[in-house]
Amino acid sequence: MSRPAGAQSLEDSGFVKEIPPKAAQFSEWYTAVVLKAELADYSPVRGCIVVRPYGYTIWELMQQGLDRRFKATGHVNAYFPLFIPQGFLAREAEHVEGFAPEVAWVTRGGGEELAEPLAVRPTSETIIGHMYARWIKSYRDLPVLINQWGNVVRWEKATRPFLRTMEFLWQEGHTAHRTAEEAEAEARQMLEVYRDFVETDLAIPVLAGRKPESEKFPGAVRSYTIEALMPDGQALQSGTSHDLGQNFARAFGIKFLDSDNAEKHVYTTSWGVSWRVLGGLIMVHGDDRGLVVPPRVAPFQAVIVPILSGKDRDAVLAGARALAGQLTEAGVRVRLDDRTEVTPGYKFNDWEMRGVPLRLELGPRDLAQRQVVLVPRVGGAKRSTPLDGIAQAVSDALAAMGGEMFDRAKAYLDAHIVSAATVDELVEAVAQRRGFVRVHACDADACEQRLRQASGASPRVVVDEPADGPCLACGVPATHVVYYARAY
């Protein structure tokens, strides 16, 4: 059993004593936060992680935030097989080229060698395309708006918890439409759903736009992306949406009889978000004390730490329980930490490290004065707050913290978008980790290759801005504005 590249030894992980400083040792900081906050752990299978309950609860809340938005836009969930026949992957030429090298193959089952190996799905366009060809007969069957929650496998060399793992959990939407316009509108709509989810629920600002041709999904006509900026100046692709045109419809024969009695191919889209954005959440919001979880996806939005001492002990504990009940009633996810084997100070550090947005301290004097000490994890000062109306105060503090977290990240993003007017400026900005580098470019592949090779960065996202200057590489009038960055 080999270990993932860069992993600590199995014996060490989970026993992180200290979290290294975020700025100085970013990579070690990330791993320490993941392990120490018990978000995930390494597994005995190369490249696969175990998502522990605290991390999984964040993922469940993320799923709920996305699923609610999918259903509000008319989508329904379904489930397609984990295994894909070898021949299916080969049907769409670009698709097989993109995914075949990363596939895990089942070659034996039930004690026998299989006549045709089965791919463990790296993505499901092919098998879903096959089923759509059977289900769709008439224009009245359209659109088909299906999403799937599940696991996929892509054989990766280097792996990092959440950011790049061999198996990962995600959702993949697959839709079929009557016209090219509808498919394009769907792909753009889902990009907007992703942007809203990541910015609102995860408090992570993103650049939204189109992928350059060279970075498209294998088999797509157009790919859209939201890109977030990490504190080390690298971009994190956080969600993609693809207009697949009729490429998969042709490869799998997905046809319908239109109202004009003509048989036509449908237009399809696909779009996905994985647990990778949980990695983004850790990197963007965490600090030297550990994790900071945005309130909307925090397993515990508030932790109550009773200060238990002497004769008032029982009264304080009863008060803390009543407070917990009251907050739960009001829909706040609250945890009462009534452990007796550790001190309040230990608890403060423990929950700060785990990134719980609010701490509520309740001692004998607070109880006597009908108040609680409210301590936000970030932004906002420690303050005494009356127990009357505490649910509203907690709710307000959570909303304020979510806004504050987004604003901080947005200020960072805005401060880390620089323009380059020459290749040298691009190279220098990338070398100095200044973030996204705004570049004017033409459509020539040779120009993109030159910019990539000179800078070591890749074109992340083409934005909807007028191209009013010359191509950085060749000097002809640019056709688009594109942001370059190194990327995860």
Q: How far apart are CA 264 and CA 415, in angstroms?
A: 49
Q: Which of residues 41, 192, 213, 338 is near its own copies by CB under 8 A?
A: 41
Q: How far is the CB of 104 from its own copies (least distance, A)?
A: 4
- Closer of 130 and 242 to its own copies (Cβ): 130
Q: How far apart are CA 84 and CA 92, in angstroms?
A: 14
Phi then psi for residue 212, to 5 deg, are -65, 160
Q: How far apart are CA 122 and CA 165, in angstroms?
A: 12
Q: Is 106 in the site for its own copies (CB under 8 A)?
A: yes
CB–CB of 160/28 below 8 Å? no
* Contact set for its own copies, span 169-198 (CB under 8 A): 169
CB–CB of 308/343 below 8 Å? no
CB–CB of 198/227 below 8 Å? no
- DSSP class of 298: -
What is the x/- site pattern for its own copies, positions 262-291, by CB under 8 A? ------------------------------
Q: How far is the CB of 285 from its own copies (least distance, A)?
A: 22
- Closer of 146 and 334 to its own copies (Cβ): 146
Q: How far is the CB of 359 from its own copies (least distance, A)?
A: 21
Q: Is 146 in the site for its own copies (CB under 8 A)?
A: yes
Q: Kindly determine how many residues on this chain lie close enough to bind its own copies according to the rule CB under 8 A.
A: 60
Burial class (CB in 10 A: 0-12, 13-18, 19+), 63: middle
Written as one letter, the residue type at 206 is: V
Q: Is 111 in the site for its own copies (CB under 8 A)?
A: yes
Q: Which of residues 5, 76, 318, 330 is near its own copies by CB under 8 A?
A: 76
- Closer of 102 and 425 to its own copies (Cβ): 102
Question: Which one, of 476, 460, 405, lies nearest residue 202 by Cα?
Answer: 405
Q: Which of residues 58, 66, 142, 153 is near its own copies by CB under 8 A?
A: 153
Q: Is 310 in the site for its own copies (CB under 8 A)?
A: no
- Closer of 133 and 473 to its own copies (Cβ): 133
Give the DSSP H or E segment for 313: helix 313-329
Phi then psi for residue 406, to 5 deg, are -65, -45
- Closer of 84 and 441 to its own copies (Cβ): 84
Q: Is 44 in the site for its own copies (CB under 8 A)?
A: yes
Q: Is 80 in the site for its own copies (CB under 8 A)?
A: yes
What sign does the dihedral 287-460-269-128 (CA atoms) show? negative
Q: Is 338 in the site for its own copies (CB under 8 A)?
A: no
Residues 6+ apart with CB under 8 A from 36: 16, 19, 290, 353
Q: How far is the CB of 451 from its own copies (least distance, A)?
A: 29
Q: Which of residues 109, 253, 386, 477 is near its own copies by CB under 8 A?
A: 109
Q: How far apart are CA 187 and CA 175, in angstroms?
A: 9
Please state, in angstroms and as integers, the Cα–Cα distance from residue 260 to each residue in 142, 245, 256, 257, following that order: 15, 21, 11, 8
| DSSP notation for 325-342 | HHHHHTT--EEE---SSS
Q: Is 220 in the site for its own copies (CB under 8 A)?
A: no
Q: Which of residues 9, 17, 18, 79 is near its own copies by CB under 8 A?
A: 79
Applying CB under 8 A, the span of 125-133, 182-190, 232-240, 422-430 interacting with its own copies comes to: 125-133
Applying CB under 8 A, the span of 48-56, 202-210, 234-242, 397-405 interacting with its own copies comes to: 48-56
Q: How far apart are CA 225 and CA 242, in angstroms?
A: 9
Neighbours of 332 (CB within 10 A): 19
Applying CB under 8 A, the span of 108-116, 228-236, 327-335, 461-469 interacting with its own copies comes to: 108-116
Binding site for its own copies (CB under 8 A): 1, 10, 14, 41, 43-45, 48-53, 56-57, 59-60, 76-85, 87-88, 101-111, 116-118, 120, 127, 130-131, 134-135, 140, 146, 150-151, 153, 155-157, 167, 169, 341
